Amino acid sequence: MATVLAVAQRHGHHFSKTPTLSIRLLAGLGVGGDAHMGETVKHRSRVQRDPTQPNLRQVHLIHAELFDELRARGFVVQPAELGENVTTAGIDLLGLPTGTRLRLGDSAVIEVTGLRNPCIQIDAFQKGLMAATLDKDAGGHLIRKAGVMAIVLADGCVRPGDAIAVELPAEPHRKLVAV
């Protein structure tokens, strides 16, 4: 069963977020009180390019299984340390198609918009971590493993232990790309 392992938010622009007992998702905006909340982009590099772009990165999710993989490679990473708002367990986030809807808890609904593109700040957190969150498939194509991004469709409170229900979009499915 897919579940929420941890939730986090942080008001200012910092690499890591602050774990909390619950977060409030706000339709069309993101995580209440989080620096990345808003209808338009909030990531500083994207704001510099075009501050009017729609915010497709309102909520950042990472699968806890990534932390296990990183631990096996000598890294120690805890929920919220890579900047995610929601840490999941039991769901293949990276394998979801674009447009997948996730119901978190009783009423929150988000739509997956794409992959997180890891940046060099990850290496400032722990040297070598950026390379550890990237891989190549059999065809030599880049695999980004640092989680997925989503927009909020329906308000709701999300807490550790909440169930995650998956609703796939209509076919044909589109593979996730970096947003």
**52-58: long-range contacts, CB 8 A cutoff, minimum separation 24:** 55/30, 55/151, 56/113, 56/114, 56/149, 56/151, 56/179, 57/113, 57/116, 57/149, 57/179, 58/29, 58/30, 58/31, 58/110, 58/149, 58/150, 58/151, 58/152
pLDDT in the model for residue 25: 98
Rounded to two decimals, what is the model's pTM?
0.96
8 SS3 class: strand
Count of Cβ atoms closer than 10 Å to residue 18 Cβ: 12
pLDDT in the model for residue 72: 96
Domain ranges of the chain: 3-167
Locus of tokens 């998702």: 25
- What is the DSSP code (8-state) at residue 173? P
In tens, the pLDDT along 64-84 reads 999 999 999 999 999 999 999
pLDDT in the model for residue 121: 87
pLDDT in the model for residue 119: 81
Q: What is the full per-residue pLDDT of the chain (179 aa) written as tens digits?
A: 999 999 999 998 899 999 999 999 999 999 999 999 999 998 878 888 898 999 999 999 999 999 999 999 999 999 999 999 999 999 999 999 999 999 999 999 999 999 998 888 899 999 999 999 999 999 999 999 999 999 999 999 999 999 999 999 999 999 999 99
Task: Classify 3-167 by CATH class.
Answer: mainly beta
